[in-house]
Amino acid sequence: MSLVFLLSFSSCGVNLSDFNFSSKPGKKTLAPAELGNSKTYEAKKLSDGPETSLSPEAKVQKGVTPLLLSEELSFSPHTGAITGIIPYGDDSVISGGNDGQVILSRLSPDRTKFLTEKLLVGTKPILAMSLSDDKNLLAISQTSLVSVYDLKERKIVYELSRVRGRIIALSWDPRSELVSIGLAGGDIYIWSLKQSFFGGQGRDSFDSLEHYIGASTPIIGLHFLPSGGAFLSVELEGGLNVWRALRTEEELGLRDKFNLEDQEAISSVMVNFAVLPTFATDSALTSDGNYFLASSADGKLNSWKIRGLVRQVESTVSKESLLSITEVGFGDKKLRSYQFLLTSTQDQKIQILCQKRSSNQSSTALEYLLLAETPPMSSTLSRVRSALSGNLVWASEKSDKIIAISGAELSEQLRVNPRLENCSSN
CA separation for the pair 93, 87 (Å, rounded): 4
CA separation for the pair 134, 397 (Å, rounded): 28
- Domain ranges in the chain are 127-237+239-275
Please say whether the beta carbons of 168 and 127 come within 8 A. Answer: yes
Mapping DSSP to helix (H, G, I), strand (E, B) and coil, where does residue 97 land?
strand
CA separation for the pair 69, 56 (Å, rounded): 10
Residue 126's nearest CA partner among 147, 148, 99 is 99
With b for 16 or more beta-carbon neighbours within 10 A and e for fewer, the 44-80 pattern comes to bebeeeebbebeeeeebeeebbbbebebbbbbbbbee
pLDDT at res. 245: 83
Mapping DSSP to helix (H, G, I), strand (E, B) and coil, where does residue 262 land?
coil
Report pTM.
0.88
Task: Look at the chain and count its residues.
Answer: 426
For 194, other C-beta atoms within 10 Å of its C-beta total: 11
CA separation for the pair 272, 382 (Å, rounded): 27
pLDDT at res. 270: 87
pLDDT at res. 200: 66
CA separation for the pair 115, 89 (Å, rounded): 14
**Non-local CB neighbours of 134 within 8 Å, separated by 6+ positions:** 176
Partners of 266 in beta bridges = 211
| Reported CATH class of domain 127-237+239-275 | mainly beta
> Quick one: which H or E segment has residue 220?
strand 219-224
| Burial zone of 181 (CB within 10 Å; 0-12 exposed, 13-18 middle, 19+ buried) | buried
Residues in the chain predicted with pLDDT less than 50, given as ranges, are: 1-11, 13-24, 48-54, 56, 362
pLDDT at res. 23: 37
pLDDT at res. 250: 67
Residue 19's nearest CA partner among 120, 168, 160, 129 is 168
pLDDT at res. 357: 65
Residue 310's nearest CA partner among 351, 366, 265 is 366
DSSP state of 34: P
pLDDT at res. 244: 86
pLDDT at res. 396: 93
CA separation for the pair 84, 95 (Å, rounded): 6
**Can you list the alpha helix ranges (DSSP code H) found in 308-378?**
none
**Non-local CB neighbours of 288 within 8 Å, separated by 6+ positions:** none
